[in-house]
Chains A and B, each alone.
Chain A
Amino acid sequence: MEKMNGLQIIKKYSSVTLLLVLVLLNAMFTPSFFNLNNLNNIITQICPVILCGMGMTLVISTGGIDISVGSVMALAGVLTARLMPQIGLYPAVSCALFAAVLVGGLVGFMVGKLRLQAMVVTLGLMLAVRGAAQVLCDGRDIYFNKLGKVGEQLALWGTYKIGGVVPVQIIPIILVVSVIWIIAEKTVLGHQIQAVGDNYKSSALAGINTARTMIIVYCMSAFFAGLAGIFQAAKIAVAAGSSLGQLAELDAIAAVVIGGTPMSGGKARVIGTVIGALIMQMITLTCVMNDIPSQYAQVLKAIILIFAVFIQREKRK
């Protein structure tokens, strides 16, 4: 229908292209890159980024941001570890996720109803929730192998391999990505979220309950962050209030931005975020497997991140 010039094509497919280039480079230069172990590694390591990134995609598409997700991961992980010896695994997980949603609801209330800046609100909660997580584990790391049977059960959430091959993390990844994609593309809520992000005033005048929309979005973000925290704790079989999920918010935001969701809101690119997460994981792996110091990987990620913002620049004039 519409002809696109070169620049627009680059914009549209930039993240996919970059990912393919990275895969191709690795295929040529990195020995044993397509080794099964290595591919499995990608899945286990990318899990928290994708789970947080999904919620973050919705948050950013409302024009907001949620930098409390890393702390919410810690809260959920620690809470699960603390509660499960007493009340069992599943009740503990439910309680942890409930607590995460409460945090999200609080953020949503302040951002959506009181119209406070999302950046400031979630910065505050990032500190407060991190503190709460540390208090909950008494400043010590909780090792699952000391928790008996439930500890082993939860550790399986991080180490089990489906059919002995595929890491269990693939399940939450596929589930959450599908759910968020369906919400963003097919549901009334998804349309309203993007409308609110694109033009808040118009949306309010069109009868959208903007406060409710925001609260739901931040609740979802916190819920998936909580889930990510539990899976991450399970993977390393430790729940540490001080380190679990640290800097996860930055990875999630970076994945969203590289995936092409504009920071100004209005459009949620769910699959883009998955690609963004994969790109960053690729860079880390490429460096690690080729004995390049990880500091270089960080610089490379930074360049790509800024390039992604640069590419968006004109699109949203």
Chain B
Amino acid sequence: MLRHPLCMKGAAAMDWLLDIQGLEKSFPGVKALKGVSLQVKEGEVHALMGENGAGKSTLIKVLTGIYQKDAGTIRFDGESIDVGSPIEANRKGISTIYQELNLSPFQTVYENLFLGREPRTKVGSIDRKKMAAEARQILDDLEVHIDVTRPLGQYSTAIQQMVAVARAISTNTKLVIMDEPTSSLDAKEVKVLFGVIRKLKDQGISVIFISHKLDEIFEICERLTILKDGQYVGVYDIKDLDQLKLISLMVGRETGKRERKKTGYNFEKAKELMRTENICQGMRLNGIGMTIKEGEVVGLAGLLGSGRSELAQVLFGANQPDQGKVFWYGRPVRIRKPSDAIIRGIGFCTEDRKEEGIIPHLSVKENITIALLPKLNKLGFVKTKEQDEIVSSYIDKLRIKTPSAEQPIVNLSGGNQQKVLLARWMCMEPKLIIMDEPTRGIDVGAKAEIEQLIQEFSKAGISVLMISSEIAELVRNCDRILVLRDGKKKGELTGADINQDKIMETIAHGSEHKEA
């Protein structure tokens, strides 16, 4: 690599763009970082890996000045830094793209791009022409061709994400941190993003890349640092690792390659639980018919915008279809609101855990029993004894890691939050649980546990409707997979047909019985 003249000062640390040593950070009750190191070269794509709760987010937040470190050193670009705010970090050349986009949906694309650093005209007013032109240029470079004068909120999450990336790289940045940038992108958009990342690399800009999708890590990253429970595990060259080895390093135990657990189980004779006919809603659902049998795990496969989540919301009563019929145990029903679905025994884990799932400042206990409350009702009062028993039994059963049942759920890691939400529906003794992206933003270890739970539901006779953009996950878990595209059912796969190639082929071309 190129030797920077500053290296003449002699310190070996000069080799690194970013050199973090012995970083420590505590929160009330938790030590989130226990002496963590991270070293990133110039122009390198460096993956930061670890289970949820490993300390990745905390590390990033300390680095970008959202949290203040308790101990340790951070050297960036040859100088020791201790940033107090994200703006300061930005000024020093560190840009971050967060999991949850923090852009303003009401402002235009170009305003978002230049938010907080708007170019001025000679008289001091904001130079909108220049902003729009530059924004168009930057986005064109990324091959994102959109009208930059429209409000950002009118575009899909994927486009918003690209704008966030554009915003980060348009500042004079030396290091871009991407916290799960691909979690809401489809395959094509991921490709574009990776193209962008490679361009950054060519310009000598470093990227810290956080993702739970292993394939992506192997495709784009050169080296990776692994954290576990706030501790530094090690740094590795990607070419020295395979997926299995990586998983075992992160989880800290040897995980066998996970295989499809069920084969050839015959649902032909099983009782029909739910059936839909010709469900239509706006542009997004164009006549979907499907059946779910008792104890069956049905997967919905398809790209972003194929109508998977929309269908789930209609089945749960969170949205109304324009037309179509729903049958429950063969009888026509109308599910107008979530409580109609809940009464029948349907649970729904949304894809947006933070906004639609958790009730952040309420305790784990209250979050588990919030849907169950009407059943814990005695003359208006909560039957606390019963409530406590249920809560502690599910905390054990699902191995929810929390200091106590009284802990606000917002303090838990993503994987544990998801388990709490699963517990919320399990304690209702449901017939059907709809899970929209149940493992999104969850580490590998917790993922395996959630998948294990899905199989246990099925064994207990509970049906599961599972939505996932990770096809491998569907392949591992589902008894039957419906492939959706543009709000239509493109095909239905069972048995030996359930494999990644077949699913992708169906998404691309549809299957022979598509015009059902």
Nearest neighbor of A209 in chain B, beta-carbon distance: B339
Question: In the complex, what residues of A have CB within 8 A of residue B28's CB?
Answer: 2-5, 8
Set B318, B341, B361, B373: member contacting A198, Cβ < 8 A: B361
| A186 and B358 form a contact (CB under 8 A) | no
Nearest neighbor of B366 in chain A, beta-carbon distance: A191
Query: Nearest chain A CB to B355's CB is how many angstroms away?
Result: 6
Question: In the complex, what residues of A have CB within 8 A of residue B350's CB?
Answer: 205
Question: In the complex, what residues of A have CB within 8 A of residue B338's CB?
Answer: 204-207
Query: Nearest chain B CB to A316's CB is how many angstroms away?
Result: 7
Set B29, B316, B357, B361: member contacting A266, Cβ < 8 A: B361
Question: In the complex, what residues of A have CB within 8 A of residue B381's CB?
Answer: 186-188
Question: In the complex, what residues of B have CB within 8 A of residue A198's CB?
Answer: 359-362
Nearest neighbor of B387 in chain A, beta-carbon distance: A191
Instruction: Take A8-B28, A186-B382, A204-B338 as given contacts and tell me if A199 and B358 are in contact as well, using a CB distance cutoff of 8 Å.
Output: yes
| A191 and B382 form a contact (CB under 8 A) | yes
| B366 and A195 form a contact (CB under 8 A) | yes
Question: In the complex, what residues of B have CB within 8 A of residue A203's CB?
Answer: 359, 370
Query: Nearest chain B CB to A193's CB is how many angstroms away?
Result: 11
Query: Nearest chain A CB to B200's CB is how many angstroms away?
Result: 31
Query: Nearest chain A CB to B175's CB is how many angstroms away?
Result: 25
| A188 and B382 form a contact (CB under 8 A) | yes
Set A201, A209, A266: member contacting B362, Cβ < 8 A: A266
Question: In the complex, what residues of B have CB within 8 A of residue A201's CB?
Answer: 355-356
- How many chain B residues touch A (CB < 8 A): the figure is 32
Question: In the complex, what residues of A have CB within 8 A of residue B316's CB?
Answer: 205
Query: Nearest chain A CB to B25's CB is how many angstroms away?
Result: 14
Asked if B374 is at the interface (CB within 8 A of a chain A CB), the reply is yes
Nearest neighbor of B30 in chain A, beta-carbon distance: A2
A266 CA / B359 CA spacing, docked (Å): 9
| A188 and B359 form a contact (CB under 8 A) | no
A4 CA / B377 CA spacing, docked (Å): 35
Question: In the complex, what residues of A have CB within 8 A of residue B403's CB?
Answer: 1-2
What is the total of A-B residue contacts with beta carbons within 8 Å? 85
| A205 and B348 form a contact (CB under 8 A) | yes
Asked if B424 is at the interface (CB within 8 A of a chain A CB), the reply is yes
| B370 and A267 form a contact (CB under 8 A) | no
Asked if B404 is at the interface (CB within 8 A of a chain A CB), the reply is yes
Asked if A94 is at the interface (CB within 8 A of a chain B CB), the reply is no
Asked if A208 is at the interface (CB within 8 A of a chain B CB), the reply is yes
| A208 and B29 form a contact (CB under 8 A) | no
| B360 and A206 form a contact (CB under 8 A) | no
Question: In the complex, what residues of A have CB within 8 A of residue B373's CB?
Answer: 188, 191-192
| A2 and B29 form a contact (CB under 8 A) | yes
Asked if B282 is at the interface (CB within 8 A of a chain A CB), the reply is no
A266 CA / B367 CA spacing, docked (Å): 13
| A206 and B318 form a contact (CB under 8 A) | no
Asked if A202 is at the interface (CB within 8 A of a chain B CB), the reply is yes
Instruction: Take A1-B403, A5-B28, A187-B382 as given contacts and tell me if A202 and B358 are in contact as well, using a CB distance cutoff of 8 Å.
Output: yes
Asked if A189 is at the interface (CB within 8 A of a chain B CB), the reply is yes
Instruction: Take A8-B28, A187-B380, A207-B338 as given contacts and tell me if A202 and B356 are in contact as well, using a CB distance cutoff of 8 Å.
Output: yes
Question: In the complex, what residues of B have CB within 8 A of residue A207's CB?
Answer: 338-339, 341-342, 371, 374
Contact residues of A between 1 and 26, Cβ < 8 Å to B: 1-5, 8
- How many chain A residues touch B (CB < 8 A): the figure is 28
| A188 and B380 form a contact (CB under 8 A) | yes
Nearest neighbor of A3 in chain B, beta-carbon distance: B28
Q: Mark A174-202, 1 if CB is under 8 A from B, else 0.
A: 00000000000011110110110011011
| A1 and B362 form a contact (CB under 8 A) | no
| B362 and A188 form a contact (CB under 8 A) | no
Question: In the complex, what residues of A have CB within 8 A of residue B377's CB?
Answer: 188
A2 CA / B31 CA spacing, docked (Å): 12
Query: Nearest chain A CB to B71's CB is how many angstroms away?
Result: 16
Question: In the complex, what residues of B have CB within 8 A of residue A195's CB?
Answer: 359, 362, 366, 370
Asked if B190 is at the interface (CB within 8 A of a chain A CB), the reply is no
Contact residues of B between 24 and 44, Cβ < 8 Å to A: 28-29
Set B29, B342, B359: member contacting A1, Cβ < 8 A: B29
Asked if B453 is at the interface (CB within 8 A of a chain A CB), the reply is no
Nearest neighbor of B339 in chain A, beta-carbon distance: A207
Nearest neighbor of A185 in chain B, beta-carbon distance: B382
A45 CA / B19 CA spacing, docked (Å): 64
Question: In the complex, what residues of B have CB within 8 A of residue A205's CB?
Answer: 316, 318, 338, 348, 350, 356-357
A316 CA / B361 CA spacing, docked (Å): 8
Question: In the complex, what residues of B have CB within 8 A of residue A188's CB?
Answer: 373-374, 376-377, 380-382
Q: Which one of B29, B358, B359, B366 has the greatest number of beta carbons of chain A within 10 Å?
A: B359
A193 CA / B87 CA spacing, docked (Å): 38
| B382 and A208 form a contact (CB under 8 A) | no
Set B29, B360, B370, B424: member contacting A191, Cβ < 8 A: B370
Query: Nearest chain B CB to A179's CB is how many angstroms away?
Result: 11
A208 CA / B371 CA spacing, docked (Å): 7
Question: In the complex, what residues of B have CB within 8 A of residue A3's CB?
Answer: 28-29
Set B358, B370, B384: member contacting A208, Cβ < 8 A: B370
Q: Mark B308-325, 1 if CB is under 8 A from A, else 0.
A: 000000001010000000
Nearest neighbor of B316 in chain A, beta-carbon distance: A205
Query: Nearest chain B CB to A195's CB is how many angstroms away?
Result: 5
Nearest neighbor of A196 in chain B, beta-carbon distance: B359
Question: In the complex, what residues of B have CB within 8 A of residue A8's CB?
Answer: 28
Query: Nearest chain B CB to A44's CB is how many angstroms away?
Result: 32
Question: In the complex, what residues of A have CB within 8 A of residue B355's CB?
Answer: 199, 201-202
Set A189, A202, A204, A267: member contacting B380, Cβ < 8 A: A189
A207 CA / B346 CA spacing, docked (Å): 11
Question: In the complex, what residues of B have CB within 8 A of residue A1's CB?
Answer: 29, 403-404
| A199 and B374 form a contact (CB under 8 A) | no
Query: Nearest chain A CB to B98's CB is how many angstroms away?
Result: 14
A267 CA / B361 CA spacing, docked (Å): 8
Question: In the complex, what residues of B have CB within 8 A of residue A202's CB?
Answer: 355-359
Question: In the complex, what residues of B have CB within 8 A of residue A186's CB?
Answer: 381-382, 384
| B371 and A206 form a contact (CB under 8 A) | yes
Q: Mark A195-228, 1 if CB is under 8 A from B, else 0.
A: 1001101111111110000000000000000000
Can you list the 8 inter-chain pairs with the closest CB atoms, starting with the nearest?
A207-B342, A207-B339, A2-B29, A206-B371, A199-B359, A201-B356, A188-B377, A188-B373
**What are 12 pairs between A and B in contact, CB < 8 Å?**
A1-B403, A3-B29, A188-B376, A188-B380, A191-B366, A191-B370, A192-B370, A198-B361, A201-B355, A202-B356, A205-B316, A206-B342
Chain A contacts to B: CB under 8 angstroms: 1-5, 8, 186-189, 191-192, 194-195, 198-199, 201-209, 266-267, 316
Chain B contacts to A: CB under 8 angstroms: 28-29, 316, 318, 338-339, 341-342, 348, 350, 355-362, 366, 370-371, 373-374, 376-377, 380-382, 384, 403-404, 424
Known: A186-B382, A204-B338. 9 other contacts (CB 8 A): A186-B381, A199-B358, A202-B359, A205-B316, A205-B356, A206-B371, A206-B424, A207-B339, A207-B374
